[in-house]
Amino acid sequence: MNAEQIEAEALKLRRHERARLAEALLSSLDDDSEIDQAWDREADERYQRYLAGHEPTLSADEALAMLRDERKR
């Protein structure tokens, strides 16, 4: 079966079945597991530094004030 035949058959599926198939096909294109693992490690390391008091933090008000100041420039 070629791609056109598969597409024709897929279009006969009910809407929710097509949505599930589309999600599975799209996720199969994302082979970024190494990138995801690297971000997971980075996030964990940052969190551990935060817990140890080595990561600077800002309150939401401080962060928003900084953003507002940057927009004015």
Domains of the chain by residue range: 1-30, 33-73
- The CA R_g of the chain, rounded to the nearest whole Å, is 23
Confidence of residue 32 (pLDDT cuts 50, 70, 90): confident
| DSSP label at residue 52 | T
* Dihedral pair phi/psi, residue 56, rounded to 5°: -65, 145
CB-based contacts of 45: which residues, under 8 Å, 6+ apart?
Answer: none
Residue the block writes with tokens 């999600």: 23
pTM for the whole structure: 0.44
- How confident is the prediction for the chain on average, in pLDDT? 91
pLDDT band (50, 70, 90) for residue 7: very high
The C-alpha atoms of residue 49 and residue 36 are separated, in whole angstroms, by: 20
Higher pLDDT, 29 or 59: 59
Least confident of 7-16, 39-48, 64-73: 64-73
Tokens of 73: 């420039």
